[in-house]
Structure 1
């Protein structure tokens, strides 16, 4: 199947070729070998807990790299506690609510994680994260501690509360991801790499986080329900099913699909804010850091829209598609073209008999008009030329190897 995917999507093969050429195996110049001691171990943990995110962080400007690595690890530690269903409720709430103080306690570690907690080792050796956190400039520490405090309080609240209304849903996603957007924006600003306004006007940063979090929640419905939890707001799913389990029941598939499409539509409303936020980011490595997750999200939510496979299991974009998206997330113009392309895919999937058709059509029309009016160099890219170039490339490579093998066989 993977081979067929490459054949059917040759532009992705081209993107993969250049990605692996650019990201060759690490040598003595890599970030991990420029650091030593506890910070090197922190980058090890970054690789263990999020390989894809680790690569993006390691390409950041040195003014931000270590700070954002540690910000990620602190929040990963907090999230590991929140996800662990073996920790008693009262104990968990205390840990979450005081974690912003814990990160100042040298030598603190945690060995109470359940046996199935995949990131438990991070907490077992969390003292190395604390050591490096305490070496950061105070303005970095202040941002990380403040976001940790607010996120921990939100997580503690939702160990007891349920996501009932759309307001609850937005609040939960704010705690889970919107605050990450706040923290990153503030770090960008205090580093001096971005304007102060990026760290002060945070509504767009919140939308960036919500776009990612809601995409994941929408996609992961089957896995979450089977794990005995559901982050879809009851205000949505209760219109289509008697219970969360009924939502993914094949016998209720038509209604389940209507619920899925309503959830996707809720995600899509954040597109204008995402593009507006990215237009404010000027430093190239920061832009890529912000843009890559967003292009992944638009590809994922368009894949999920009106796709019954979401209710049966986890769906993911192709690896080649992901590599292509990474290669395209370099400039605002390129990102806008990427969004435009996926919105066109969405338009083809948005059938008139879909109850969400009208709302989605409005989002599509607005997005296409906004992007087309600001694109440099005219209309979005015509992928026909790209395929012609790739066809020429493959013909050339094939001819080379044919000539080589022919000459070799004649010797």
Structure 2
């Protein structure tokens, strides 16, 4: 069972400044993520911001304009930083605010920092230009860049004492990460193609006549692009259904945070399903009022109660 402590000693001024920096990065760079974590109590919100800021740094190395050899070196520097954090070697007056905040968070929450090593592994896969023949192949990548984030987040959230099936909480957090990442892949299919990346499994692309890729605002000639998208949407929905079993294992505000973030992506999935070709014309997003509704729904506990009823009833 993963437990966390809500009450913590007051943080020092340097630590508070470091957390403030991470929260600013999160608010500016990850609006969907920031929408969810604002529902958390302050210590958990700060810890999640520290996790995001480090993850953002790693992602930016992979997606940035630096030469390949420099990117490889920067990723190794990130690994070295993780080692320093594990060893408690980051001082509160360190000049790197992300290091200070993440080190403080790892001291007060049982965060499995190895998940951040997995994230670095996933970005290295991007640098190597790896493609994925099957869904099982793609799952390896998704577990590195998203499933690991789910497991890291669970270290901050903790689980409720006596929660049913809690021994599978980490598995459900991982699966929810896969659902979010597959939704991201569908949303960004055109943008990724323009950057020379293809994430959808090659055997799915062949099945639906889409092996020529997605370089333009219209599907490949003669393809069943709508069929491909609907196929992947069904896969993502199954992952969401499995991952949502995590909700009854969390306290109210942590559950609200997860329900809000996952709910935003499920609604993105709905939009993509209704108009598959929209992902070729631009980035699909939700208006602020719809995100607010999802946040309120999560805070109400409606999704958690729904999942609890289905679990007790024995339905998947």
* 1:217 lines up with 2:185 in the alignment: yes
* 1:131 lines up with 2:110 in the alignment: no
What's the counterpart of residue 117 of structure 2? 149
Aligned pairs for 1:221-236 within 5 A = 221-236=189-204
Q: Which of the residues 281, 290, 303 maps onto 1:321?
A: 290
Aligned pairs for 1:300-311 within 5 A = 300-307=268-275, 308-311=277-280
The Cα of 1:261 is off from its aligned counterpart by: 1.5
Cα contact 1:237–1:247 (8 A) shared by 2: no
SS at match of 1:330: helix
The Cα of 1:81 is off from its aligned counterpart by: 0.8
Residues matched between the structures, number? 290
Cα contact 1:295–1:335 (8 A) shared by 2: no
The Cα of 1:248 is off from its aligned counterpart by: 5.8
The alpha-carbon distance between structure 1 residues 187 and 250, as it changes in their structure 2 partners (threshold 3 A), is closer
What's the counterpart of residue 272 of structure 1? 241
Bigger CA radius of gyration: 1
Cα deviation 1:123-175 (Å, max 9, x = unaligned):
xx9711212333345364x7353221122123213321222221121111111
SS at match of 2:111: helix
What's the counterpart of residue 93 of structure 1? 72
What's the counterpart of residue 140 of structure 2? 171
Cα deviation 1:337-379 (Å, max 9, x = unaligned):
6x9xxxxxxxxxxxxxxxxxxxxxxxxxxxxx9489599xxxx
Unpaired segments ≥5 residues, structure 2:
1-12
Deviates more, 1:205-214 or 1:237-246: 237-246
Cα deviation 1:37-85 (Å, max 9, x = unaligned):
333333222222224433433431234232222111111111111211x
The Cα of 1:219 is off from its aligned counterpart by: 1.8
Aligned pairs for 1:69-80 within 5 A = 69-80=49-60
* 1:256 lines up with 2:225 in the alignment: yes
* TM-score, scaled relative to structure 2: 0.78
1:298 and 1:36 mapped to 2: Cα distance? 34
Cα deviation 1:78-135 (Å, max 9, x = unaligned):
1111211x2233332343244132243769xxxxxxxxxxxxxxxxx97112123333
SS at match of 1:238: helix
* 1:294 lines up with 2:239 in the alignment: no
Return the structure number with greater relative CO, CA threshold 8 A, min gap 6: 2
2:314 and 2:168 mapped to 1: Cα distance? 25
* 1:64 lines up with 2:33 in the alignment: no
What's the counterpart of residue 244 of structure 1? 213
Unpaired segments ≥5 residues, structure 1:
1-32, 108-124, 340-368, 376-411
Cα deviation 1:171-227 (Å, max 9, x = unaligned):
1111110000111112323xx766797587422111110111111111221222233
SS at match of 1:329: helix
